[in-house]
Amino acid sequence: MSDRIDQQAVGERYGAWFSRGPRGAVMRYLFSSRGLWILNTPYRRILASARITAADRVLDLGCGIGNILIALSRRTSFTAPPVGVDVSPVLIEIARRELSRAGLSDQVQLLVAPATQLPFPDGRFDVVVTSHVIKHLDDQAMTTAFSEVVRVLRPGGRFLMWEFKKSPMSVPLFWSARTSGLPPPFKLRDRDTLAQALTRAGFSQVAPVPTGIFLLPPVPRMALLAQR
C-alpha cells in the first residue's frame, strides 16, 4: 500500500460507492442516521464524552452523508447551526437530502472541503468531531489536518475522534476492503501513534474514551478526546 493517499480520489470513490445501484441504496441506509445503530452502535456513549451543549459551535470533520450531524441536531437545539465538511461533493449532496428528509435543512450547514484545508477562521468552533475519517489520511495529511483542527478550535475546545484500531484483529478489515470495494487506500494506526500526533499538533490533553461494542464490522475501534 502506497504511503501517499489521494484525498480527492478517496472522496470520489466514496461518492461512486454511495450513489450507484442497489449497493448504493444499502450503503446510504447503513451510513445514514437510521443505520447508526448498526455501524456506529455506541455513538451516543462516545459523543457524550465531548459534553456537547446547545451553546457549542460544532464541526463534523468528514461528515459523509450527515448521520452524526442529524443525530446531534435531533437531540440538541443548537444556538448556532453545527457545520459538516466533506471532501466529496456527492456525499455532501446526499447529506443535504438526508437533512431535508429529517426536517433539519435550516439547522445544519454543509460545505465541501478537505480535512487539510478548512475554510473557517481561527477559533471558530468549540467542538470538532470526526468518525472513521483519519484512516483515509496519510501521515503528512493527518499532521496537517490535526493542525487545522487546533487552528479552528477556540482555546479549551475539544476534538473527539473515533476510528478503526490497528491490531492483529484488524486483518478482517483489509480482507473486507478487497472483497467489498471499500475505497482504498487507508492506514490504520494505534492509539499511542494518534495521541502523539495530536500532542505534536498542539493539543494540551489527550485522553482515551471507551468505545463500547460495534456490531459491524466486528473490528477493534478506539476513541480519543483531545483538548486545545
Positive or negative torsion for Cα 17, 69, 160, 81 = positive
Q: Spelled out in words, what is the top-level CATH class assigned to the domain 7-227?
A: alpha beta
Residue closest to 46 by CA, chosen among 188, 206, 163: 163
> What mean pLDDT is predicted for residues 124-137?
96
Q: In this structure, are residues 221 and 214 in contact, taking their beta carbons and an 8 Å threshold?
A: yes
Confidence of residue 174 (pLDDT cuts 50, 70, 90): low
Helices (H), 109-158: 139-152
- φ, ψ at 218 (rounded to 5°): -80, 65
Q: Assign 3-state DSSP to the chain and report helix, strand, coil percentages, each to 5.
A: 45, 20, 35
pLDDT at 183 over 70: no
- For the cut 80, the answer to whether the pLDDT of residue 152 exceeds it is yes
Ramachandran sector of residue 83 (left: φ over 0; alpha: ψ -120 to 50; beta: rest): beta
Instruction: Read off the pLDDT of residues 21-33 as tens digits, 9 standing for 90 and up.
Output: 887 888 788 888 8
- The label of the residue with cell 478526546 reads 225
Closest CA relative to residue 131, chosen from 222, 200, 207, 217: 222
The arithmetic mean of pLDDT across residues 166-173, rounded, is 69
Which of 16-20, 45-49, 154-158 is predicted least confidently?
A: 16-20
